[in-house]
Amino acid sequence: MIINIPRNSDFSIHNIPFGIFSTQDRSKRVGIAIGDQILDLLEWSKAGYGEVDSSYFDQEVLNPLIKLGKKITNQLRSDVQDWLNQDASMYNKYSSLFVNQMDATMHLPVEIGDYTDFYSSIEHATNVGKMFRDPENALLPNWRHLPVGYHGRASSIVVSGTPIKRPFGQVFDSDNNTPKYQASEKLDFELEMGFIIGKENTLGNPISVDEAEEYIFGMVLFNDWSARDIQKWEYVPLGPFLGKNFASSMSPWVVTMEALEPYRVEAPKQEPQVLQYLQSDRSRNIDIKLEVELETSSGSKTTLCKSNFKYMYWDQAQQLAHHTVNGCNVRVGDLLASGTISGHTPESYGSMLEISWGGKKPITLLDGSTRSFIENGDTITMKAYSENNGVRVGFGEVLGNII
Ligand code: CA
């Protein structure tokens, strides 16, 4: 290998994720994360490597590169892997093609035209249903028949590291039986994964569940920040609005579906059987280990939960098939997020709402302070990776500090 890759790096030679970076002397451009370095694809291409024209790397977003299609981008990943596999003694010759990740600024990797958020974890939907509605009938009648979702807002999706301003809005004051305007007192994270559309369908032409994965370029780690008090008052009858659209944070590296292929696992059984247009190969869930950490303003870090993407009741092919079954078209760069990913146990719940059970069970952090929701100065960091047989493909992290 031309560079030394630290053990347990998310960015192994098997990963080769795409992102947009800049440095003091390099404009925004396409790069690939490898170990703790970035391979500058613009300079790499200009040096004569690969078959993709360098203009596709001299870009502020990945959309033009993604539009070339999987055949081209897979070949590119393979060419980069072959090139990286040369002897370490060659590094000095090519050192100008690499940038230390510590020295780079990462940017939102894609221009997101439309953002859709699903609600596809049965554990999360059950927990929220118990708290917001009816403990006996937590899941609404449609939930096991279709992947419930809503159209979110793309304009407020920010890259990891962007500070998040606590939102103001309307909340219901139950003591005085009237709404009031104030800063949200129930700011929350939602542990999610998102996928990015890599191929378009035309309006009126649904994507079938069997071909859906051809339309997915890759995945990111996603924190769908939520203001629970605003959400609870506003969401009836049309669903999430200002409790959600103030910000969502996204990890900067897009991991391709091809890199995640070795980590496919069986999906949970669906009962009752779903309609035919949603019947998917139930072996296409992905084992992605997830973790959320809270760091207080004084620097004390506490792990809040550990979950796994493999728990998802509805898989991505079903989500995309359902999204387009009415003829809705998706476009390259669109982001479709999973919904909060919770497991069976409280240690695997993917939001503060569930971890503190609506504030009824505040948790104690390692420094002795307690939290029901997120306070100003707190930083929430999410990490995600897949690993088996010592081969690791990871997403790095998505973090946001509340101000
Ligand atoms: Ca969400």
User: What are the boundaries of each domain within the chain?
Assistant: 18-107, 115-285+307-344
Using a pLDDT cut of 90, give the percent of the chain over it: 97
- At 271-330, the pLDDT tens digits run 999 999 999 989 999 999 999 999 999 999 999 999 999 999 999 999 999 999 999 999
**Phi, psi values for residue 98, rounded to 5°:** -115, 150
- At 168-207, the pLDDT tens digits run 999 999 999 999 999 999 999 999 999 999 999 999 999 9
Has residue 119 got a pLDDT over 90?
Answer: yes
Distance 144 CA to ligand 1 centre (A): 18
pLDDT for 63: 99
- Provide the token pair at 232: 């609870």
Has residue 13 got a pLDDT over 90?
Answer: yes
Distance 120 CA to ligand 1 centre (A): 10
Distance 132 CA to ligand 1 centre (A): 15
Distance 359 CA to ligand 1 centre (A): 19
How many residues does the structure list for the chain? 403
Has residue 134 got a pLDDT over 90?
Answer: no
Check whether domain 18-107 has CATH 1.10.287.610, yes or no: no
Of 14, 107, 124, 151, the catalytic one is: 124
206: left (phi over 0), alpha (psi -120 to 50) or beta: beta
Has residue 4 got a pLDDT over 90?
Answer: yes
**Phi, psi values for residue 66, rounded to 5°:** -60, -40
Has residue 132 got a pLDDT over 90?
Answer: no
Distance 56 CA to ligand 1 centre (A): 32
Mean pLDDT in residue range 50-63: 98
Mean pLDDT in residue range 356-383: 97
Has residue 242 got a pLDDT over 90?
Answer: yes
Mean pLDDT in residue range 12-26: 98
Distance 173 CA to ligand 1 centre (A): 24
pLDDT for 47: 97
Active site residue 14: no
- At 71-88, the pLDDT tens digits run 999 999 999 999 999 999
Has residue 379 got a pLDDT over 90?
Answer: yes
Has residue 2 got a pLDDT over 90?
Answer: yes
96: left (phi over 0), alpha (psi -120 to 50) or beta: alpha
SS3 of the chain: CCCCCCCCCCECCCCCCEEEEEECCEEEEEEEEECCEEEEHHHHHHCCCCCCCHHHCCCCCCHHHHHCCHHHHHHHHHHHHHHHCCCHHHHHHHHHHEEEHHHCEEECCCCCCCEEEECCCHHHHHHHHHHHCCCCCCCCCCCCCCCCEEECCCCCEEECCCCECCCEEEEEECCCCEEEEEECCCEECCEEEEEEECCCCCCCCCCCCCCHHHHEEEEEEEECCEEHHHHHHHCCCCCCCCCCCCCEEECCCEEEHHHHHHHEECCCCCCCCCCHHHCCCCCCEECCEEEEEEECCCCCEEEEEEEEHHHCCCCHHHHHHHHHCCCCCCCCCCEEECCCCCCCCHHHCCCHHHHCCCCCCCEECCCCCEECCCCCCCEEEEEEEEEECCEEEEEEEEEEEEC
- At 81-116, the pLDDT tens digits run 999 999 999 999 999 999 999 999 999 999 999 999
| CA dist., res. 330 & res. 265, Å (int) | 27
| CA dist., res. 285 & res. 268, Å (int) | 9
β-pair type (157-159, 248-250): parallel
- At 143-156, the pLDDT tens digits run 999 999 999 999 99
Question: What is the value of pTM for the model shown?
Answer: 0.97
pLDDT for 227: 98
Confidence of residue 133 (pLDDT cuts 50, 70, 90): confident
CATH number attached to the domain at 115-285+307-344: 3.90.850.10
pLDDT for 64: 98
